[in-house]
Amino acid sequence: MFCTKCGLCLPEQANFCTRCGTAVYIPPQPPVCVEAEQSEMATPVENQDQY
Ligand SMILES: [Zn+2]
């Protein structure tokens, strides 16, 4: 596992980063079915540049 802050490689049992001291969170199990977060990128198409 890696520190989420500084990216230091940490042992599995580590609860805190030995470099920056950030508490590292270990998820009990990997997410199985993660729905992709749909970002609202609705851009209006009515304002088109016409040459
Ligand atoms: Zn760190």
Domain boundaries defined on the chain: 1-26
By the CB criterion, residues less than 5 angstroms from ion ligand 1 are 3, 5-6, 8, 17, 19-20, 22
Q: Model-level pTM? A: 0.45
For residues 14-33, average pLDDT: 82
pLDDT band at 22 (very low <50, low <70, confident <90, very high): very high
DSSP 46: S
**Listed residue (29, 1, 28, 31) closest to 13, CA to CA:** 1
Give distance in angstroms: CA of 28 to centre of ligand 1: 20
> Residue 5 in contact with residue 21, Cβ under 8 Å?
no
Q: Please state, rounded to an integer, the average pLDDT across all residues of the chain.
A: 80
For residue 20, pLDDT over 90 is answered with yes
What gap in Å lies between CA 6 and CA 19, rounded to an integer? 8
Give distance in angstroms: CA of 30 to centre of ligand 1: 21
> Residue 16 in contact with residue 23, Cβ under 8 Å?
yes
Neighbours of 8 (CB within 10 A): 16
